[in-house]
Chains A and B, each alone.
Chain A
Amino acid sequence: MSCATSIGLDTLLDYWTGDLTGAPAGAVEEHVFGCEACAERLGEIAALAASVRRLTAAGRFRAVVAPSVVDLLAARGLRIRTYRPRRGESIPCGAAPEDELLVGRIPADLRGVARVDIAFCDEWWSERERLVDVPFDRARSEVVMAERVDDPRVRTAHVVRLRLLSVDAAGERELGTFALAHDPRGPPGTFAT
């Protein structure tokens, strides 16, 4: 059984997230209960939402994350090893066997900044890849990056070099350069050299 006029995905999503309340939400429910096709689409949203939740809870993601997500993961018991790279310096880092997520809290003066990009660079600091418009925490003056420990790169010696950039209509301005030197043997100080 399908319906003549299906509900838009944006409306179903608003209903699912709770942005739609009261009579409009009731109308969506009435429709979904009478329409198998729309019920299936709502089911897809629910399945995607549940999977995003499970993957995030397991620390199965990388790159930049909203700081409150990392706070919540830590509060819920995910074992997180945190590094705080310093501007213009390279710091050693690595994962211990019990770690479930590596997090880098990158400090930056974010006053007046509208958009932050991260440029990943090679050993000559030439840009190789860019993350555009990443979330940042102005109050804590930091950008939070995560690296999942099951990433094969964590098990190899390599250096992550990145430039933090403020981008606006006038152009871009460097907020700092940072480097994290991954050691596959583990966190600094935990193995014999």
Chain B
Amino acid sequence: MFDAPYSLDVVEPEPSSTPRSLSDGGLAARISADPGRDRAAEGEVCRRFAPRIRLYGLRHLRDDTAAADLVQEVLLVVLDRLRSGALREPDRLASFVLGACRLAVSDRRRGASRREALLARYGPDLAVGEAERPRLDVDRLDRCLEGLPPRERAVLQLTFYADRSSDQIAGELETTPGNVRVVRHRGLLHLRACMGVEEVSS
């Protein structure tokens, strides 16, 4: 109809990156760029790593409360480092978190802790997310456990309730540690299938 008096270049606005879509390095950069103010990015660090720290704690400390404490302690260390911009390799944030876990557990075993000092410094200002935990239908698991072949159930109970090693279980059930591992793996697969958990293919 008529020529526009000016050309209009439509430029789509650059979508601002949500913390969840950022790489570990991107998260680290955002936090160190605005220390202590980017709560969304800090929250994402907590969301991303709290479950892994908790698992590390459970694996090494074998105690729910100690694992929960470890989550808090390590996240405080990690956020402190990120805020100060002192993380030398931001892309290796996951390795740094793991290193902090190892150090914290080692400290605990030596009876020392840096946790109090960090808590005093940041206090309630620092929101440390609760580690997300998978929720299980316990009644269903109860039925699944009951439906397992006796030997698989016995191995799982000896492993997870009695905290027996494969060698000890092998001694009790008159088999080999290798066979205990096979039976335990099979039992776990049966439980997962019964619970409707699909195996993730490699």
| A interface residues with partner B (beta carbon < 8 Å) | 1, 5-6, 8-10, 13-19, 29-30, 32-34, 36-37, 39-57, 60-69, 72, 131-135, 138
Contact = CB atoms under 8 A, between A and B. Distances in A.
A39 B200 contact: no
Interface of B: 23-24, 48-49, 51-52, 55-56, 58-59, 94-95, 97-98, 133-136, 138, 141-142, 145-146, 149-151, 153-154, 156-162, 164-166, 172-174, 177, 181, 184-185, 188-189, 191-192, 195, 197, 199-202
B47 to A, nearest CB: 10
A39 B150 contact: no
B150 A34 contact: no
A10 B192 contact: no
Nearest to A56: B161
A61 B159 CA distance: 16
A45 B191 CA distance: 10
A37 B48 CA distance: 11
Nearest to A72: B162
B150 A138 contact: no
Contact of A135 (B161, B173, B185): B173
B134 A57 contact: no
A131 B51 contact: no
A29 B161 contact: no
B202 A48 contact: no
A13 B145 contact: no
B145 A52 contact: yes
B181 A51 contact: no
Contact of A69 (B59, B162, B192): B162
Contacts of A41: 200
B52 A32 contact: yes
Contact of A66 (B51, B158, B188): B158
Contact of B173 (A8, A36, A62, A66): A66
Given A56-B157, A66-B172, A135-B154, A13 B55 contact: no
B138 A55 contact: yes
A137 B33 CA distance: 64
Contacts of A37: 200
A9 B185 contact: yes
Given A42-B55, A53-B160, 10 more contacts: A1-B48, A14-B181, A48-B192, A52-B160, A63-B146, A65-B153, A66-B172, A66-B173, A69-B157, A132-B150
Contacts of B188: 9, 13, 45, 48
B200 A34 contact: no
What 5 pairs across the A-B complex have the smallest Cβ distances? A56-B161, A34-B94, A47-B134, A49-B160, A134-B150
Given A43-B51, A53-B161, A63-B146, A69 B191 contact: no
A18 B157 contact: no
A68 B59 CA distance: 23
29 contacts: A9-B185, A9-B189, A9-B199, A13-B185, A16-B59, A34-B24, A36-B48, A37-B200, A39-B55, A42-B55, A43-B134, A44-B197, A47-B134, A47-B136, A48-B188, A49-B160, A53-B161, A55-B145, A56-B160, A60-B142, A63-B153, A64-B154, A65-B154, A66-B172, A68-B172, A69-B158, A72-B162, A133-B151, A134-B151
